[in-house]
Structure 1
Amino acid sequence: MSRPDAASLRQAENTGGLNPITTLSVLDDTTRANIVGTIVGHPKGAPSKKELEYYNPSVAASTLTDHLSRLEEAGLIEPIERDREGLERGQPYRFFQLTDAARKLFDRNNLFEPDAYRELFAEVEKTDEIEAAEAVDRPYEQN
């Protein structure tokens, strides 16, 4: 394995420690790119798995789990959990958000612009169950 050159190290440093080429190659899969788009467009920036399943209906739940794992391993997303106290049965408590390093990388490369994704997201018709899932407070929300 070769040592990274100075330019590669500076580039990784400027993107929160993520190697842009390696990290962005994870997004060469349309489904993973759509999942990231769903996270970026989500009104609270952190959808639950239930919401991700709803907004990506062609993806089986087990396949979604695999894609979430790949995105997490790449340093693009991170799970966050809220206290289950006060939640009704079936309400989500685990959510997925972009890492700060991923947002820096995307901003630096003009990818996944939040306003554009939020506009698309706002046009999607939602069931009562999904609206209830969206209403659940996240441990911390991104703006």
Structure 2
Amino acid sequence: MRRTLKATVAAAAAAVCVLTTTAGIAQAEAPKPTSLYAPSALVFTVGHGENTATATVERAVTLTCAPRPAGSHPAAAAACAELAAVDGRFAELVGAESSVVCTKEWRPVVVTADGVWGGRHVQWSATFPNACMMKAGLGEGVALTF
């Protein structure tokens, strides 16, 4: 009787192990996408300094464009529309010529954009001689002026 009891307990323990192992495998599924849109989430910064490594960040905002405009950017919808018009090529938002007259003082301002646009990683920065030149270079656009 002892052998029968030991055999029954051993068989039950083996069955539990097999069921637990196979149940865990059967439940494993590949992750499903949570969105039909390619991600577009960015962080913009403005700071004083000669380059991104030495600039002291003074302002930073976030911008998400898909599936709908959101973030701390003050004009999220307009900024997303501007970026969509240039397909996320930030350099195209900076104008070369301006009618604004600025002093020639050297107090550099760095503007950066980091994140994901249309599912691809983007990293961009521009250095302007001073705040006046930055405003003149960015013109009437809203994506990089916040």
TM-score range, shorter chain: under 0.3
TM-score (norm 1): 0.24
Is the radius of gyration larger for structure 1 or structure 2?
2
TM-score (norm 2): 0.23
Higher relative contact order (CA 8 A, sep 6+): 1
Between Structure 1 and Structure 2, which shows a larger proportion of strand residues?
Answer: 2
